[in-house]
Structure 1
C-alpha cells in the first residue's frame, strides 16, 4: 500500500539506469558539461501527474541534446527518456498525444542521423536501431492500460455482486420480518380478545392466555433482534434461526386446537431449507388464526421424503362466527411462493370442499 501511494519508488531502478549511463567520450567539452543532459531528464519525476507537460519538456530537451555536438552522442539516455514518456502517455490513455510524441521522436532521429550519422559506420542502422525500443514502450503502455481497465471492470463487477447480495439479503430480512410480526401479532391480538371475553367465566384461562401473550411477545422480540443484528453485522450472527424442531412450540403458541405430524428425519435438512419450511408453516398458521373461526381445528403435517420436504397445513371450517378481521399486508401467500421457488418446489392453496382451507407446499432439497 505504501508503494501504491508513492509510485515514484517504482521508478528508482529506472533513474539508476539514467544515472549510470555515462556520456559518450566523443567530442569536445569537459565531463561536467557532458553531464548537463541529466538536467533535461528531471521532468520525468512528474510524468504521472503532468504527462503531457513532461512530454513537451523531454522533447525540448532532446532537441537541445541532438543539436549540440558536445551532447549529441548522449543519445541512449535521451531515447530511453522518450520511450518512458511514450509509455506513460499510452498507459494514461493520451493516445493522440502519444502519436504526436512518436512523430516528434522520428523527426529527432532523422535530425540526429542527418547531423551526426555520417560520423558513424552505418547511419541508416543508427537511425532505425531505436525504433524497437519505442514500439516496445507503446506495447507495454497498452498492456498495462488494458490490465488496469480489466482490474477496474472486475472491481465494478464485484461491487455490483455485493450490492445484489445486499439487496437479496434485505429482501430476505423483509420476508422474515413479515412472517415474525404477522404471526406473533395475530396470536397476541386474538389471545388478548379471548382473555377479555373469558375474564368473568374462567379467570384461570385468562392467566394462561396472558402467559401465551407474554411468551409470544418475548419470542418475537428475540427474532427481531436477531434480524436487526444481521442488518448491522452480516453473516456471522445469522445463527441460531428457527428450525423444524421448534414446530411443536409454534403450534402450541397459536392458541388453537392444532395437531402436529412430522415424519422422516428433519434433522438432516440443510439449515436454510429447515428455516424456509418453518416459515411456511408459520405463515399458514397465521392465516388460520386471522381468517378461521375460533372453534376451527387444524393439522400441520411435515414429511421429509428425500429429496423433498412436503408440508401440508389444513384447518376445518368451524361453526362459530369468524373473528374480527385483522389487518393484512397481502404478502403472506407471495412470501410462501417465493420460499418455495427458492427450492424449485410447488405451492397449492385453496378452500376445502367441506369448508376450511389447505396450504400444501414442497421443497426440493436434494439432487
Structure 2
C-alpha cells in the first residue's frame, strides 16, 4: 500500500480520473431538438474538462478557461449536462489555486464564481416562486468547502515539508558531528607526531621512525573508523561505545603523558545511543587536550555510571609549549548538542592550575 501511494504521488493525474469520469458520464453529448448543436455541446464540455488536465502546471490559465466555458454554458443555455458539473469544475480550479498558494488568483476566481452563480440564479429563478438567494445559497457551501479544503491540504503539506526539512537538517548535523569527532582526533595525533618526527629526524632517527610508524598506524585507524562510520550510517556496523574507551585513551597517550582513565559502575545496560554519545564526548575532550595542552600535561578521564552518566576530561596546565593546532570551534558545540539530546548538563572552563576541564552529564534513562 505504501508503494502504491508513493507511485500515485508521482502520477497525480491518475487521482483525477474519477473526476473526469464524473464529467463525461452520464449524460454524454446528445443530439436533441431542445439542446444546442452537438459541436457546441462538445466544445463547451471540452472547455470545462480538458483544461483540468493542466490545472497543476498552469492553474491561473486553467481557471480562466474553465470560467469562460461555464459562462458560455450559462449564457447560451447549452444544456449539455446538469449544472452540478459546472459548479464542481469551478470548485476544482478554486481548490487548486488555494493549494498551490495562488491566493490572488484564487480571490479573483472566487469573485468570478460568485458573479456566475448570481447570474445563473437570477436567470433560472425568473418567472418562478423561488428566490434567487435560495439558489445562490444552495451552491455557496460547495465553493466554501473547496477553499477550506485547499487551505487544509496546503497547511498539511507545509507542516510535512517543514518536518522533513528539520529531519534532514538534524541528519546533516549528526553526520557532521560524527565526521568531526572521527577526523579531528586522528588528524591531531598525526600532526603532533609529524612535528615530533621532523625535530628528531637528525638527533634520534630511531624515535623519528617510531613517530612515523605511529602516524601510519593512526592514519590506518582513522580510515578504519571512517569506514566504520559509513557502515554505521548504513546500518551495517556497530557504534563505538564504552568498551572502546581504553583504546581511545591509548591512542591519545602516544608521545604524551599517559591518559589516566577511570570507569566507575557498569555501563553494560546503557542504551547504544547513550554509549555512543559518551564515547564521542570523551573523544572530543581528548582531542582538545591534544590540540591545546602541552605534551607533559597530565590528563584524567572519568566515566561514572549511575542514575546519570557523568563524564569528566581534565588536564593540567603543564610546563611545555602547547602545540596550538588550528581549531574549527565546532567540537564543544557538538558536545553541547549531544548533551542536549539526552537532557544533560555541560560545564567547561579553565582550572586554577592553568589546565582545562570538561564535565558533562547524560540522563541514562533517555
Same fold (TM > 0.5): yes
Aligned equivalent of 2:214, options 192, 212, 215: 212
Give the alignment of 1:186-265 within 5 angstroms. 186-189=191-194, 192=197, 196=201, 199=204, 203=206, 209-227=211-229, 229=230, 235-237=233-235, 239-253=237-251, 254-255=253-254, 256-265=257-266
Paired with 1:194 and 1:214, the residues of 2 have a C-alpha distance of 18
State the Cα distance separating 1:362 from its structure 2 match: 2.6
Aligned with 2:147 (options 142, 155, 158) = 142
Judged with a 3 Å threshold, the aligned counterparts in structure 2 of structure 1 residues 216 and 174 are, in CA distance, closer, same or farther, namely closer
Are the structure 2 counterparts of residues 159 and 312 from structure 1 closer, same or farther at C-alpha, using a change threshold of 3 Å?
closer
RMSD, matched Cα: 3.9
Structure-2 separation of matches of 1:196 and 1:134: 92
Q: Does 2:25 match 1:13?
A: no
Counterparts of 1:2-81 in structure 2, within 5 Å, are 4-6=12-14, 7-19=16-28, 30=33, 38-39=41-42, 40-48=44-52, 49=54, 50-65=62-77, 74=79, 77-81=81-85
Which residue is 1:120 aligned to?
A: none
2: distance between equivalents of 1:336 and 1:33? 77
- How far apart, in 2, do the equivalents of 1:30 and 1:212 lie? 99
Select the residue among 320, 324, 327 that pairs with 2:325: 327
Correspondence 1:350 to 2:350: yes
Report the 3-state secondary structure (helix = DSSP H, G, I; strand = E; otherwise coil) of the residue aligned with 2:305. strand
2:261 counterpart SS class = strand
Instruction: List runs of 5+ in structure 2 lacking aligned partners.
Output: 1-7, 55-61, 98-105
Tell me what 2:185 maps to. Answer: 180
Alpha carbons of 1:81 and 1:37: their partners in 2 closer, same or farther (altered >3 Å)? farther
Q: Does 1:275 align with 2:280?
A: no
Give 1:172 deviation, angstroms.
1.7
Judge conservation of contact 2:48–2:69 (CA < 8 Å) in 1: no
Find the counterpart in structure 2 of residue 107 from structure 1.
119
Q: Distance in 1 between matches of 2:121 and 2:288?
A: 86
1:45 deviation in Å? 1.6
Deviations 1:54-110 (A, max 9, x none): 322332232222xxxxx7xx59x3422432343134324433343334333433443
Deviation at 1:324, TM superposition (A): 6.6
* Contact kept in structure 2, 1:290 and 1:323, CA below 8 Å: no
How far is 1:238 from its partner?
Answer: 8.0
Q: Is the 8 A contact 2:303 2:309 kept in 1?
A: no
SS in 1 for 2:12: helix
Deviation at 1:334, TM superposition (A): 5.4
Q: Give the Cα–Cα distance (whole angstroms) in 1 for the partners of residues 150 and 184 of structure 2.
A: 51
178-187 or 148-157: bigger deviation: 178-187
SS in 1 for 2:238: coil
Per-residue deviation at 1:218? 0.9
Q: Structure 2 length as normaliser, TM-score?
A: 0.72
Q: Which residue of 1 aligns with 2:4?
A: none
How many angstroms does 1:14 deviate by?
Answer: 3.2
Match of 2:363 in 1: 365
Aligned-pair CA distance for 1:186: 4.5
- What SS does structure 2 have at the residue aligned with 1:17? coil
State the number of aligned residues.
Answer: 334
Inter-partner Cα distance in structure 2 for 1:171 and 1:292: 25
**Distance change in 2, residues 1:64/1:210 (3 Å):** closer
